[in-house]
Amino acid sequence: MSAIATFLLAIVSAMLIDNVVLSRFYGICSFIGVGNRVKSAYSMGLAVTFVIILASLVCWPIYYYVLVPAGIPFMDTLVYILVIASLVQVVGLFIKKKSPALYKSLGIYLPLITTNCAVLGVAQSNTDSGYTFAQSMSNAIGTSLGFLLIIVVFACIRERLESSNTPKAFKGVPLALVTAALMAMAFMGLQGIGA
């Protein structure tokens, strides 16, 4: 298989088959907190996608060209979270300067992204599993697109659920979790495609 086909297959598998939200529970907090309006879910998803890709782009070289030569690979988590926090700040400032309209729609989600498990989780698992740079980039792109897909689909479902007549005890978070369970079961059907 050519290198590009492998790259694309890795993206598809990280996005659909091994979806981060439904199989590894990354970003569940923001998923439940923000995900009941399609528009805000879309903005949040885009911002997370951008930060995940950027963070993986920066964290992988830092691990292999700074931390390992310096003999302190155990400092990875601490360095990654600092890199992510400062990246989020820089991205926020950049967007604010270049496109105030975009900042208006993304702005309130930016601080939330620092504490989104998906960002740190991807950066951490890239180096923990010993991926090459290309592998870690395909992991980052697939994971973040998977997050975007799920958070938008989920917001669509929740918008409908809000106006329907559901048992009182299930209103809100319990129903969101059961919905996620049904989605996870649906995505389980995709397992085995890549193999």
What residues make contact with other proteins under the rule CB under 8 A?
Answer: 22-29, 32, 74-78, 81-82, 85, 111, 114-117, 120-121, 124-125, 128, 167-178, 180-182, 184-185, 188
Q: How far is the CB of 147 from other proteins (least distance, A)?
A: 13
The least distance separating other proteins from the CB of residue 145, rounded to whole angstroms, comes to: 19
Q: Cα–Cα distance between 115 and 101 in angstroms, integer? A: 24
Q: CB-wise, 6 or 128, nearer to other proteins?
A: 128
Separation CA 24–CA 11 (nearest Å): 16
Nearer to other proteins, 23 or 102 (CB): 23
Cα separation, 63 vs 68, in Å, equals 6
Locus of tokens 């988590």: 77
Q: Which is nearer to other proteins, 70 or 169 (CB)?
A: 169
Q: Least Å distance between CB 5 and other proteins? A: 28
Read off the DSSP letter of residue 194.
-
> Which amino acid type is present at position 158?
R
| CB closer to other proteins, 28 vs 141 | 28
Q: Which lies closer to other proteins via its Cβ, residue 77 or residue 99?
A: 77
Cα–Cα dist 49/144, whole Å: 5
**Could you tell me if 47 and 19 are in contact, meaning their C-beta atoms sit under 8 angstroms apart?**
no
Helix H, strand E, coil C: the string for 145-185 is: HHHHHHHHHHHHHHHHHHHCCCCHHHCCHHHHHHHHHHHHH
Contact assessment for residue 123 and residue 76, using Cβ atoms and an 8 Å cutoff: no
Query: What minimum distance in Å lies between the beta carbon of 186 and other proteins?
Result: 9
State in angstroms the smallest separation of the CB of 159 from other proteins: 19
Q: For residues 69 and 167, which CB has a smaller minimum distance to other proteins in the complex?
A: 167
Report the distance separating Cα 6 and Cα 71, nearest Å.
32
Smallest separation, CB 173 to other proteins (Å): 5
